[in-house]
Amino acid sequence: MLKHIVLWKLKEFAEGGDRRTNAVKMKAMLDGCANVVPGILKFEAALAQPGLEATYDVILYSEFADKAALDAYQNHPDHVAIKPFFGAVRDERQCMDYEI
């Protein structure tokens, strides 16, 4: 099994929306990718919550059966289609994949 974790820190304002608006839009776009390929075992997108410590605005925690499933997700047209918006609104991105 492979875990794929991505965190995004967003710009204060980009693509016509403020940080919170863009975070909500990102989460909805990620949620739309939750079942795009076989081999996705877990797919959870979340937003930083007021009152709880957070240094990033959006997180994706996901688990894949294997690297082939992650690669299929990375190259799926629905995932590829959201990348331009994510690139335009993010200030920073961190990613880590690891096998267990």
Amino acid making up residue 39: G
Please state the rounded mean pLDDT for residues 27-36.
97
Class of domain 2-99 as given by CATH: alpha beta
Q: What is the pLDDT of residues 58-89, one digit of tens each?
A: 999 999 999 999 999 999 999 999 999 999 99
Band (pLDDT 50/70/90 cuts) for residue 4 is: very high
User: What pLDDT does 56 receive?
Assistant: 98
Amino acid making up residue 3: K
With beta carbons less than 8 A apart as the criterion, state whether 35 and 42 touch: no
Please state the rounded mean pLDDT for residues 15-32.
98
Using alpha carbons, select from 16, 6, 13 the residue that is nearest to residue 73: 6
Q: What percent of the chain has a predicted confidence (pLDDT) above 90?
A: 99
Provide the residue ranges of all domains of the chain, joining segments of one domain with +. 2-99
